[in-house]
Amino acid sequence: MTHELDSATNFFCMAREAEQRGELATAERNYRAAAALGLMQDTLDKIDRGTELWSQADNAEDAGDYDTAEKLFLASARLGKSNAMNALACLYDDRHIPRLTGKAIYWYVRGYRAGNTLCPWNLAMIFVRRRNFRWFRFWMRKAAEMGHEDAAIELAKIAADPVYMTDPVALWNVDESN
């Protein structure tokens, strides 16, 4: 990370020198490079902070401190950490009494958009609980497209036996309490 900061500083110095010489196109190019490297550093710092918060939240959850875990997962999720988005949604969906399914769906969708392969699978589980088989299949397909092996297996079962979808809740033995 120090290398990026050094590079950004070098580009900034070269831009000032070019500007003093009247080479405005070169100065602008170097200012843009310095700015891009500075933004890259900010992004890397956010990623590091998000990972640190996720780790602390994971430890708090393991210790049974769900209130602290929720706060830390939320902070990490807001920094873009997709694992934290999934973990936060799981807390809302599994640990909260009553379940906060709306919040869980929100964070699962955000996690899916951020590339987390568990999020569409977990969304499918919410919809199978609700007996909404259309959305169950939709999210199951999304999970399979992202490489979730169990989702691909479930889709193959559905394709092979349409009766399978008559009551997947019973087949899955899913807790329906919302």
| 60-86 tens-digit pLDDT | 999 999 999 999 999 999 988 899 999
| 13-51 tens-digit pLDDT | 787 787 778 887 887 787 777 777 665 566 666 667 778
Lowest mean pLDDT among 11-15, 71-75, 91-95, 134-138: 11-15
CB 129 within 8 A of CB 169: yes
| 144-176 tens-digit pLDDT | 999 999 999 988 888 887 666 666 555 555 455
DSSP H or E stretch at residue 92: none
CA distance 145 to 152: 8
Which pLDDT does position 2 carry in this prediction?
39
- Kindly give, in sequence order, each residue whose CB lies less than 8 Å from that of residue 86, ignoring residues fewer than 6 positions away: 107, 108, 111, 116, 118, 119, 122
DSSP H or E stretch at residue 148: none
